[in-house]
Copies of this chain bind each other. A is one copy, B any other.
Amino acid sequence: MVLYLIGLGLHDEKDVTVRGLEAIKGSERVYLEAYTSILGIGKERLEAFYGKDIIVADRDMVETDSDAILKDADKVDVAFLVVGDPFGATTHADLLLRADALSVPYVVVHNASVMNAVGALGLALYNYGQTVSIPFFTDSWRPDSWLERVRENARLGLHTLCLLDIKVKEQSEENLARGRKIYEPPRYMSVPCAISQLLSLLPPSPSPSSPSAPASADALDPSTTLAISASRVGHPSQTFVSGTLSELAELDDDRFGGPLHSFVILGRTFHALERDFARRWAVDKDNWDRVSKEVYGVRD
């Protein structure tokens, strides 16, 4: 029979495709991959919708015990569910190569992921460069390689989708040291947190009295770099906010909607229709139009 790798889409039990739902209902065992992303609902709601028990597969299980997942998959169908698209956050290549080695055929049922649903912001997907993930900084760890990726995109006039860190199933140092499996509450990075981390990596702005040359795109000057935030894309409560990096950094977290947050830093390849589309979510519509015209060179 076959291993189904099934994308669940972006929010709840109804975002699965008809093809995916049929495959789940016909499967002997159903696993839910629970470490690269989260769904907006609990597994109980999925179980009720499918009429099936679900086995939660954490990273350990997928990476070190894939044979348990693949057990008997040459005789019965097995479904492996992934939030978003099965190849979105990680390719699951290890699991699929193992299936091949065991002569278990696999079938992929694709679905939306944030990588394509971000199109809802109205910027042409063709003009996005590489995607980055922004990790939580700590006192002693401030990784910045992602910032150079943003600059590379900016130099080419391309947009950058920035995905923000989540911390789930983390242990405190004390609990880790004592071997206690007690986990901290989950933490989701907000847009203001991500932008403030970004700004902390930039050189200090010149004082207002110094002669001002127009900043190059890859300087990411916070008052002249546009961005659009997106939370819960595809969910009824999705929230988009557009503005300069400075404007977004100053808003309260809850202005951006519930987690997960992400945002896009706009490259200079930006057109009048895109400006009009995103103006609807602007913190300051006049400033949005002004920066679009004076800095991004958008003409009607």
Residues in chain A within 8 A of chain B (CB atoms): 7, 9-10, 13-19, 21-22, 85-88, 90-91, 93-94, 96-97, 100, 107-113, 115-117, 119-120, 122-133, 152, 156, 158, 233-234, 236, 273-274, 276-277, 280
Contact = CB atoms under 8 A, between A and B. Distances in A.
A285 to B, nearest CB: 14
Given A10-B110, A17-B9, A111-B111, A87 B273 contact: no
A21 B85 CA distance: 19
B234 A97 contact: no
A15 B18 contact: yes
A93 to B, nearest CB: 4
Nearest to A273: B93
A298 to B, nearest CB: 14
A173 B271 CA distance: 33
B100 A110 contact: no
20 contacts: A9-B17, A9-B110, A14-B18, A16-B18, A87-B120, A88-B119, A91-B119, A96-B122, A107-B236, A108-B234, A109-B234, A110-B116, A110-B120, A112-B116, A126-B131, A128-B131, A129-B130, A130-B156, A130-B158, A152-B156
Contacts of A14: 17-19, 22
- Oligomer: number of copies: 2
B119 A85 contact: yes
Give the interface centre of A7, A93, A119 by most chain B CB atoms within 10 Å: A119
A65 to B, nearest CB: 18
Nearest to A233: B110
Given A129-B129, A156-B152, A111 B112 contact: yes
Contacts of A125: 87-88, 115, 131
Contact of A117 (B85, B123, B280): B85
Contacts of A90: 124
Given A17-B14, A119-B85, A124 B277 contact: no
Contacts of A124: 90-91
A65 B280 CA distance: 23
